[in-house]
A and B are shown apart, each in its own frame.
Chain A
Amino acid sequence: MDLLSFLQNPFGVIGGAIGSLLSPILPGWLVSLILIVLGIAVVAAIIPAIVMGEIWAERRIIARFQDRIGPNRVGPFGLLQPVADALKLLTKEDVTPARADKFLHYIAPLLVLAFSLMVWAVIPWNKGMALTDINVAVLYVIAMGGVPTVGFIVAGWASDNKYSLLGGMRSAAQFISYEIPGVLAVMTPVLLAGSMSLQDIAEAQRRVWFIFYPIIGQLAFIVFLIAGVAESNRTPFDLVEAESEIIAGFHTEYSGMRFALFFLAEYANVFAISAIGATLFLGGYTFFGLESAIPGWIFLIGKSLFLVFVFFWLRGTLPRLRYDQLMNFAWKQLLPIGIVNMLLTGIAVSLYQAYLQPFLR
């Protein structure tokens, strides 16, 4: 097996080797279990690494937008800054407010983090290289993306703090408002590819990416991006944690590692949404045929990082929307666009299947 084939799916190759090593010794079901647990461990190990890179990148990039440098003391180019942040958060005292609901206060960050991480299970890094390839991956992503909101509400309520409560309520309203246009935008790639599996959607973009489809591709991408920014509570939709108004919103009363969990979840969410967006609209691991020469996951990571940069760009530049303006925008502007876009996509796909496809065959 040559280097390129190995690189195209390193974890798959290693997993296959371990599996063939263990199958004579152990029963089949145990081997599968071990491989699954190993796969989860690998993905769970990659996530903090990527998140740390994101934290570093955000601080440097936003600093550049603000005509300053950003962290450059801790390690070369400040690369060890996230490590310093993590160590600081680890050593802080874990405070729970006296009259808070202890159990709810405890599980809220877990709810948020666990489900933000679950989305990573279906991201296709390369052909055949996803932790799992379920045929309703898109539905799974949308569902898993919704549960963290419950975590925010629980955190807001359990903190016994009016600011947190406000933050939690805002988060619920915001998420519900932007979920629907987001789902409608995601329908476009699903209709165009004919499948909800992320792997199939990426494969269907081998020749041309969905974003290049006239009107329907671009509209869907823009709606998806806006909904994605809203669902990950980033500026300009970060009124959930609007520092200048409600201090830190739902995570005001969290300190130390529990705050770090919220933090981690937010950045993991940002990257996950970028990766999903790259897979749905920007071709995922494909690159017009070049992916046979260069491992596909490099392209996916590159496209995701580009979208992550757009997220940072928005944060460094735009002010924050007010609560009612945000809902106004979602329901009165984004939702009609989403509906119209889905309509156009449906018409386009059915016309294509009825008239053009038999002709092109």
Chain B
Amino acid sequence: MQTLEPGALDVRTGEREMTLNMGPQHPSTHGVFRLILQLDGETVVGCKPVMGYLHRSSEKLGEMRTYVQAVTLTDRLDYLAPMSNNWAYCLAVEKLAGMEVPERAEYIRVIVAELYRIASHLVAIGTFGADVGTWFTPLIYTFREREMILDMTLLCAGVRMNPSYVRFGGVARDLPPEFIDRLKYFLDIFPAKIDEYERLLTGNEIFTARTKGVGILPPELARAYSITGPMLRASGIQYDVRRAEPYGIYDRFEFDVPVRYNGDCFDRYMVRVEELRQSHRILTQALRDLPPGEIRGKQPKVLKPPKGEAYARLEGPKGELGFYIVSDGSPNPYRFKIRAPSFINLGVLSQLVVGHKVADAVVILGSFDIVMGEVDR
């Protein structure tokens, strides 16, 4: 069993091995992602991921926009959890420019970020079920709850997708009262729904047979490849940016960081399910303690941060999302660098897939929970 060298495509197709291209158009590659597999029968002996099909030069565009305009670019990175992206960028710029954020805005930021963590994990769980073969039944169940979250976003930001809601110094608009009612309703029904997903998937013998022992990521390898997020926590390393370097007001909330020790696909799935429950806890506390007040701090008409650089990171649903902004005193950023967790996590894909069967390659890729907007930027 050998791994292909990076940048080299093995063309020994005349022999027993077959090159299979799980091309950019494929029902299971979670977006436009290409995976070139070298197969010996049904076993994968070589793997080369090819990305870049969704590259939209966000980083270069960021340099050509003003700071405020660049917020819209961040939405389109991890489009399943846009609020986290907005927030990470705003953290970096607020660090750079030294802006204050009022209390209420901090709580609202936590609420929307955790709501979108739930939304992103719902997609991850649903599509993971679809990858394992359950013909979309868990997908439809999880999307039913995700619809509620999108409707809430519609209320507070005016759009369901790409809201650009979290802004420098706070949030764009205040929460309408219907939002609070809907959030209360959602929090009431959600724990029962998590149990429903678990009944369908976790206890299912076929599901556990497909996912246990598949794609085991040892903790040393995870450290070496800078893996973050649920993938890391499924391999036994209990690292969460919300605990390691709390941002916003996360140090005021009581929540556990789920960790599992086997590092296989089942554990990654279970970490995400448990994070659903923990996000629910955080949301209940945030809703209870939400203070009245302003939603945006003072800020100048044209934002020209002083010369310097700042790196801010937060725990997005996919992993550690970081923004490195360099300012040269002008209204546009000089460097707009995004540390995308899905892209970094993908580095270890070929290590995990080699040695497994084709069917497992799909399951392993599903357990990574990548979103191509982030991978390609």
Residues in chain A within 8 A of chain B (CB atoms) = 62, 65-68, 162-163, 166, 170, 235-236, 238-239, 242-247, 315-325
Contact = CB atoms under 8 A, between A and B. Distances in A.
What is the size category of the interface that chain B forms with chain A?
A: 20 to 34
A238 B133 CA distance: 9
A242 B137 contact: no
B210 A322 contact: yes
B61 interface: no
Contact of A325 (B137, B141, B209, B362): B209
Given A236-B206, A245-B358, A246-B358, A319 B140 contact: no
18 contacts: A66-B140, A67-B141, A235-B133, A235-B135, A236-B206, A244-B133, A244-B362, A315-B135, A318-B206, A319-B129, A319-B206, A319-B210, A320-B132, A320-B210, A321-B209, A322-B209, A322-B360, A324-B357
B207 interface: yes
Interface stretch (B20-28, B232-240, B341-349): B20-28
A170 B359 CA distance: 12
Contact of B137 (A66, A170, A247, A321): A66
A159 to B, nearest CB: 14
B359 A323 contact: yes
A170 B131 CA distance: 18
Contacts of B284: none
Nearest to B356: A322
B73 to A, nearest CB: 32
A69 B188 CA distance: 26
Nearest to A325: B209
Given A236-B206, A244-B131, A321-B206, 20 more contacts: A66-B136, A66-B140, A66-B141, A162-B20, A166-B20, A170-B42, A236-B133, A239-B359, A242-B359, A247-B26, A317-B137, A318-B134, A319-B134, A320-B132, A320-B210, A320-B359, A322-B209, A323-B42, A323-B357, A324-B357
Contact of A68 (B140, B210, B358): B140
B161 to A, nearest CB: 21
B144 interface: yes
Contact of A244 (B20, B27, B204): B27
Interface string B146-182: 0000000000000000000000000000000000000
Nearest to A170: B42
The 6 closest A-B pairs by CB, nearest first: A320-B133, A319-B132, A66-B140, A244-B28, A319-B133, A319-B134
Interface string B27-62: 110000000000000100000000000000000000
B200 interface: yes
Contacts of B136: 66
Contacts, number: 82
Nearest to A173: B42
B204 A319 contact: yes
A348 to B, nearest CB: 31
A136 B136 CA distance: 42
Contact of B133 (A62, A65, A242, A324): A242
Contacts of B129: 319
Contacts of A315: 135
B265 interface: no
Contact of B42 (A65, A166, A244): A166
Contacts of A235: 133-135
A246 B137 CA distance: 20
Contacts of B359: 239, 242, 245, 320, 322-323
Interface string B198-230: 001100101101100000000000000000000
Given A66-B140, A321-B206, A323-B42, A316 B135 contact: yes
Contacts of B206: 236, 318-321
A239 B135 CA distance: 12
A64 to B, nearest CB: 11
Contacts of B200: 317
Interface string B353-368: 0000111101000000
A315 B359 CA distance: 18
B42 A245 contact: no
B132 A67 contact: no
A350 to B, nearest CB: 36
Contacts of A323: 42, 357, 359
A133 to B, nearest CB: 39
Nearest to A317: B137
B130 interface: yes
Nearest to B363: A322
B202 to A, nearest CB: 12
Contacts of A244: 27-28, 130-131, 133, 362
